[in-house]
Amino acid sequence: MKLLVKLGGTLLDAPEPRDRLAAEVAQARREGVEIVVVHGGGRQMTRYLAERGIASRFVNGLRVTPPEIVDAVLKVFAGSVNHELVASLNRAGAPAVGLSGIDAFLVEAEQMDPALGAVGRVTKSNPALLHLLAGNGFVPVVACVAGDRQGAIYNVNADQMAVACAAAFHADQLIFLTDVDGVLDGTGQVRPLLTARESEQLIAAGVATGGMQAKLNAALAALRGGVGRVCIAPGSTGNVLSRLLGGEALGTRMVLSGGQAA
* pLDDT tens profile 120-158: 999 999 999 999 999 999 999 999 999 999 999 999 999
Long-range contacts of 183-189 (CB under 8 A, 24+ apart): 183/208, 183/212, 183/216, 183/232, 183/251, 183/252
Query: pLDDT value at position 38?
Result: 98
pLDDT at position 256 over 90 = no
Q: Calculate mean pLDDT across residues 31-42.
A: 95
Q: Calculate mean pLDDT across residues 84-91.
A: 98
Confidence of residue 261 (pLDDT cuts 50, 70, 90): very low
**Active-site residue numbers?**
6, 9, 42, 159, 215
Q: How far is 17 from 10, CA to CA, in rounded Å?
A: 9
* Mean pLDDT estimate for the chain: 92
Q: Specify the 3-state DSSP secondary structure of 160.
A: helix
* 8 backbone φψ class: left, alpha, beta (φ>0; ψ -120 to 50): beta
Q: Give residue-wise pLDDT tens across range 218-241.
A: 888 898 888 888 999 999 999 999
Query: pLDDT value at position 205?
Result: 85
Confidence of residue 262 (pLDDT cuts 50, 70, 90): very low
